[in-house]
């Protein structure tokens, strides 16, 4: 009979802790490739030219970059004293 260690059991509380560490800038960085993927998919579904689909992805990605870098830029975390 094989023994099974307790390390193989998924602790759902630890998984939830990892999701709580995702911040706004992680989501913005994830939005950039998703914008191109969705634009490419929409372009394929509606028969748009590749250039038109890419322009849509560029617009969405540019808005995410503009928001993350200019509108609400990252700030330095407070120093531990």
The terminus-to-terminus CA distance of the chain in angstroms comes to 54
pTM as predicted: 0.67
Task: Give CA–CA dist 53/60, Å, rounded.
Answer: 11
DSSP state, residue 16: H
Stretch 67-73: mean pLDDT: 90
* Degrees to nearest 5, angle at CA 30 with 35 and 59: 30
What is the tens place of the pLDDT at every residue in 6-39?
555 555 556 666 777 788 888 999 999 999 999 9
């Amino acid at each position: 009979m094989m023994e099974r260690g307790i390390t193989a059991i998924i602790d759902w509380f630890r998984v939830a802790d990892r999701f709580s560490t995702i911040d706004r800038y992680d989501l913005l960085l994830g939005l950039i490739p998703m914008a191109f993927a969705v634009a490419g998919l929409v372009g394929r579904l509606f028969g748009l030219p590749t250039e038109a689909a890419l322009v849509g992805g560029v617009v969405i990605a540019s808005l995410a970059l503009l928001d993350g870098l200019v509108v609400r830029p990252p700030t330095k975390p407070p120093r531990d004293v």
